[in-house]
């Protein structure tokens, strides 16, 4: 069963890209950068002039993203502390200071609260909350010493409100947003900004998988399931990965240095509070 088209009225080709100089001389690390939102972010930051390091679990995907950005691919499983430690060692040896950290890698699994497994809970917490903590703990102090840095955690509007059948996901994304807010207080006078981006449903592979699950569990057609997801936004559409990348790129500019400690929704108006 193939999900229906995820396309919306927004044309990604019309979403503005960077100046080519805004991040010139800067190095950016994008986790989960091999596909979807992460790949779009990596391409955006490269367009803004950054040297981009792309991480992910799938070698072919991150190598392709590295070619697209002229950057570097480094494999890493963000659920594995040992892998993260090895990545940090390699970054220090081969790349040097990271100026921009985009903690984009994420993991989601849905189930009723009482049926959520320990394994699913632990992996969502590891990827969505612990990995950003480990990365910021290692990479933010050198940014602060240099008096400039940008940290953007790609969270979710599930980090701002609760949804049924996603207790582990909501808890982990709320934890990520809490980390951003606490870290922002500590770094406020350091020249480093720390923010979270909280998208709604984004037109990615995850949406395809969600549509399949909804169709199987509810008996709806894939078209009906996709309409349900679009209908959650007042704009009645999915967000495009390039829109998330645009916001991340904006947060990395010098002109956005006053945007700090925020969890910014990007969901067509779904969460307005």
82 lies in some domain: yes
71 lies in some domain: yes
In the numeric block, the tokens 């996603």 are attached to 166
31 lies in some domain: yes
Residue 166 phi, psi (nearest 5): -135, 40
CB 68 within 8 A of CB 39: yes
CB 223 within 8 A of CB 231: no
Mean pLDDT, to the nearest integer, of 72-87? 98
What distance separates the 2 farthest-apart alpha carbons in the chain? Answer: 56
The Cα 48–Cα 257 span in angstroms is 16
How do residues 210-263 score in pLDDT, each as one tens digit? 888 888 878 889 888 899 889 999 999 999 999 999 999 999 999 999 999 999
How many domains does the chain contain in total?
1
163 lies in some domain: yes
Residue 189 phi, psi (nearest 5): -110, 20
The Cα 63–Cα 122 span in angstroms is 28
Quote the pLDDT of residue 219: 87
Count the neighbouring beta carbons within 10 Å of the beta carbon of residue 150.
27
Task: Quickly list H helices, 31-187.
Answer: 36-47, 59-69, 81-94, 118-125, 131-146, 167-187
230 lies in some domain: no
Q: Which of 10-24, 64-78, 80-94 has the lowest mean pLDDT?
A: 10-24
- The domain of 44 spans 20-203+239-266
221 lies in some domain: no
In the numeric block, the tokens 């207790």 are attached to 167
Query: Over the chain, what is the mean pLDDT?
Result: 92
115 lies in some domain: yes
| DSSP structure class, residue 2 | P
Q: Which of 56-65, 72-81, 210-219, 262-271 has the lowest mean pLDDT?
A: 210-219
Q: What is the CA radius of gyration of the chain?
A: 18
272 lies in some domain: no
Please give the angle made by the CA atoms of 161, 45 and 183, to the nearest 5 degrees. Answer: 45
Question: What's the full length of the chain, in residues?
Answer: 273
Q: Which active-site residues does the annotation give?
A: 169
Closest to 248 (Cα-Cα) out of 105, 53, 61, 37: 37
* Torsion sign, CA atoms 119, 121, 125, 128: positive
How do residues 83-121 score in pLDDT, each as one tens digit? 999 999 999 999 999 999 999 999 998 889 999 999 999
What CATH number is attached to the domain comprising 154?
A: 3.40.50.720
């Amino acid at each position: 069963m193939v999900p229906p088209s995820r396309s919306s009225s927004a044309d990604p080709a019309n979403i503005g890209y960077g100046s080519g100089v805004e991040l010139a001389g800067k190095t950016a690390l994008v986790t989960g950068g091999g596909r979807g939102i992460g790949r779009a972010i990596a391409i955006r930051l490269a367009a803004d002039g950054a040297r981009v390091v792309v991480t992910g679990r799938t070698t072919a995907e991150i190598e392709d993203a590295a070619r697209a950005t002229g950057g570097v691919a480094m494999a890493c499983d963000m659920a594995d502390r040992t892998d993260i430690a090895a990545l940090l060692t390699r970054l220090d040896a081969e790349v040097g200071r990271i100026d921009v950290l985009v903690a984009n890698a994420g993991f989601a699994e849905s189930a009723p609260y009482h049926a959520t497994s320990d394994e699913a809970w632990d992996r969502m917490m590891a990827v969505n909350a612990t990995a950003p903590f480990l990365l910021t703990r290692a990479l933010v102090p050198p940014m602060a010493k240099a008096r400039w840095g940008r940290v953007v955690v790609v969270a979710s509007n599930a980090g701002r409100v609760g949804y049924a059948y996603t207790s582990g996901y909501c808890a982990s994304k709320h934890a990520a947003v809490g980390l951003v807010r606490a870290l922002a207080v500590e770094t406020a006078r350091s020249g480093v900004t720390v923010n979270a981006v909280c998208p709604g449903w984004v037109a990615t592979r995850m949406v395809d998988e969600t549509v399949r699950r909804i169709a199987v569990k509810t008996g709806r057609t894939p078209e009906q399931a996709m309409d349900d997801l679009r209908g959650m936004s007042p704009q009645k559409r999915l967000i495009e990965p390039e829109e998330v990348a645009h916001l991340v790129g904006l947060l990395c500019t010098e002109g956005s240095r006053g945007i700090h400690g925020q969890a910014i929704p990007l969901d067509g108006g779904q969460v307005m509070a």
